[in-house]
Amino acid sequence: MNHAQEPVISIEGLWMNYSDRMVLRGIDLAVYPGQIIGYIGPNGAGKSTTVKIMLGLVEGYTGTVRIFGRDISDGDAAYKRRIGYVPEVAELYDSLTAKEYLGFIGELYGMKRTDAEEKAERLMGLLNLEHAFNMRIASYSKGMRQKVLLISSMLHDPDILFLDEPLSGLDANSVMIVKEIFASLAARGKTIFYSSHIMDVVEKISSRIILINGGDIVADGSFAELKEKSREGSLEGIFNELTGFDRFRDIAGEFVAVIGEGDSND
Ligand SMILES: Nc1ncnc2c1ncn2[C@@H]1O[C@H](COP(=O)(O)OP(=O)(O)OP(=O)(O)O)[C@@H](O)[C@H]1O
């Protein structure tokens, strides 16, 4: 890790609660240019909440969040033009074509509409979607929508990309292209903050893995470093170990037993 540079993301003492439920309990984190952070944790651990706080979409937290060195609570939203976001579930404007949608998104990020459209068309072509550029998004398949989302997050050449299950719905060929795009962007100094439950992908693409559980960071390091401290050989195993989970067989057995309960009445 090159800590000679300033962090692009710096979080100090981040606490967040939703009514009486404490979701984040003092997260401290510094992320540096060129890192691909695999941000993982069990369902409900607070991953999306952390990301939404950094995006300025969730307020009411305590602690300090600095992006590009500036406290995001200072009221200056200029940093948002330098970040891109792929949410896990996104509302795309179905009635628009990709050309219209991506032109509009480009404008939101401060691009000239015609420049955004022209760039979007080339990027669509590279992801095998040239035929769909002028089609309404309503007619797109799941994977096609995901590709449009990915393009919309990167169109303005952001310095930080926040990605929530970005490979969702993509075929194996597209997955290879997109993973390679992330690696190339990181090599160019872009920072990628990647949340996913697909452990083998996180294991392979992340330069640094951060595991949160119960609102705290419980592991932080490269896959090799995490592996050294663990008895497990895979990230899936390390995840299970660090989240104290070893009951999958019992639970699956009980689940199947409950499903089969009605059978005796036949
Ligand atoms: N708007 C909200 N109002 C109340 N509680 C919320 C809200 N958003 C999230 N939570 C709660 O905060 C906790 C963390 O949610 P969050 O979405 O950050 O988890 P996550 O780690 O992203 O989970 P997943 O892996 O399932 O996507 C959960 O208990 C959730 O119920």
How many A from CA of 106 to the centre of ligand 1? Answer: 29
Measured from the Cα of 46, ligand 1's closest atom is 18
Collapsing DSSP to helix, strand or coil, 197 comes out as coil
For domain 9-87+196-254, the CATH architecture is: 3-Layer(aba) Sandwich (3.40)
Task: State if residue 40 touches ligand 1 by the CB under 6 angstroms criterion.
Answer: no
Whether the complex's predicted ipTM surpasses the cut of 0.85: yes
How many A from CA of 52 to the centre of ligand 1? Answer: 10
Task: State if residue 51 touches ligand 1 by the CB under 6 angstroms criterion.
Answer: no
Distance CA 167, CA 141 (A): 14
Pocket test for ligand 1, best of 15, 18, 22, 58 (most atoms within 8 A of CB): 18
Q: Count CB neighbours of 118 within 10 A.
A: 14
Q: pTM for the complete prediction?
A: 0.92
**Cα dihedral sign, 138-140-141-147:** negative
Tell me the backbone φ, ψ of residue 209, rounded to 5 degrees. -115, 130
* DSSP letters for 63-94: EEEEETTEEGGGS-GGGGGGEEEE-SS----T
Which protein residue's CA is at the shortest distance from atom 1 of ligand 1? 18
Domain boundaries, the chain: 9-87+196-254
Digitized pLDDT (tens) for each residue of the chain, 266 residues in all: 556 689 999 999 999 999 888 999 999 999 999 999 999 999 999 999 999 999 999 999 999 999 999 999 998 889 999 999 998 877 888 999 999 999 999 999 999 999 999 999 999 999 999 999 999 999 999 999 999 999 999 999 999 999 999 999 999 999 999 999 999 999 999 999 999 999 999 999 999 999 999 899 999 999 999 999 888 889 999 998 888 877 888 899 999 999 999 766 55
